[in-house]
């Protein structure tokens, strides 16, 4: 298979496989390689067109009989946190997030393994090694960053890098129109702290500070309970056959 950069991307179609989200369904994906000097530009265009990135691959569902996977992006400047989200922010006010280069660490991998072993024991990533994790982080030709979430240690001054225990990590692409959350994980023992929600709220804040409009959350899968959290962040747009359209959802208290 040719992975060299070409003037126009070449697209490929995967064979049918068992859908990881909806029982009894088969999934197929169309994908292309993100390589070469135009990789960042192509990643922007494809993400805006409903693709997701995994390492140097951009993909989107191409299922024959199902359209349950819907691309979601939050309108960062219009977002107002619900009361429950403000409680999450208050409960995690001692957490500091730090943006850095796309470099893996042993500490990150240890947390990643704990997260997988607790929440995704039978998922497609369940047998990932330290090398696999390093490749997931480093194998990128686009503007990718790692955001670490740590609890600020007592006595740390304003502006000082936090030295506390690593609680969460987000692998994030910086795009021309916002941030795309490629993958995130957190300490499974702190489930009551809603760190997943907190990390999305942090991305919204970062996107606003950059003066950019969108936070891309990937796919919301209609009918999959574990994807339901994505529709809580309003207002948001869903990619339809007519383009990006405002998603009308009941407000959350």
Better-scored residue on pLDDT, 228 or 185: 185
> Is it the case that residue 13 has pLDDT exceeding 80?
yes
Nearest Cα to Cα of residue 236 among 207, 214, 218, 219: 214
Alpha-helical runs (H) found in 73-155: 83-91, 106-119, 130-138
State the pairing for strand pair 214-221/236-240.
unpaired
Q: Which residue is listed with tokens 């049918």?
A: 16
Give per-residue pLDDT as tens, 31-87.
999 999 999 999 999 999 999 999 999 999 999 889 999 999 999 999 999 999 999
pLDDT at 118: 85
Q: What is the spatial distance between Cα 200 and Cα 74, in angstroms, rounded to a whole number?
A: 10
> What CATH number has the domain spanning 1-67+82-204?
3.40.630
Q: What is the spatial distance between Cα 213 and Cα 229, in angstroms, rounded to a whole number?
A: 20
Q: Where are the domains of the chain?
A: 1-67+82-204
pLDDT at 180: 98
Nearest Cα to Cα of residue 96 among 181, 14, 165: 165
pLDDT at 5: 47
In the β-sheet with 29-33, what is the strand arrangement from edge to edge? 12-13, 29-33, 57-61, 52-54
Q: DSSP letters along 40-96, please? A: HHHHHHHHHTT-EEETTEEEEE--SS---EEEEEEEGGG----HHHHHHHHHTTTEE
Q: Are the CB atoms for 219 and 69 separated by under 8 Å?
A: yes
């Amino acid at each position: 298979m040719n992975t060299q950069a070409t003037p126009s991307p070449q697209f490929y179609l995967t064979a049918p496989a068992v859908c990881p989200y909806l029982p009894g369904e088969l999934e197929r994906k169309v994908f292309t390689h993100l390589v070469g000097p135009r990789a960042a530009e192509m990643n922007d265009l494809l993400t805006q067109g409903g693709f997701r990135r995994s390492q140097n691959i951009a993909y989107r569902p191409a299922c024959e009989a199902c359209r349950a996977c819907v691309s979601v992006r939050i309108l960062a400047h219009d977002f107002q946190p619900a009361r429950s989200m403000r409680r999450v922010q208050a409960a995690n006010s001692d957490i500091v997030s730090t943006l850095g280069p796309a470099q893996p660490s042993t500490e990150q991998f240890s947390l990643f393994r704990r997260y997988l072993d607790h929440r995704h024991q039978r998922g497609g990533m369940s047998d990932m090694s330290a090398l696999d994790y390093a490749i997931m982080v480093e194998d990128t030709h686009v503007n990718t960053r790692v955001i670490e979430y740590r609890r600020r240690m007592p006595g740390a001054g304003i502006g000082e890098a936090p030295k506390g225990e690593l609680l969460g990590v987000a692998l994030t692409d910086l795009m021309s129109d916002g941030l795309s959350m490629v993958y995130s994980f957190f300490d499974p023992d702190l489930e009551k702290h809603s760190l997943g929600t907190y990390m999305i709220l942090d991305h919204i804040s970062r996107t606003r500070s950059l003066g950019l409009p969108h936070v891309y959350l990937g796919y919301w899968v209609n009918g999959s309970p574990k994807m339901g959290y994505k529709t809580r962040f309003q207002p948001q747009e869903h990619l339809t056959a007519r383009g990006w359209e405002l998603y009308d959802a009941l407000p959350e208290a």
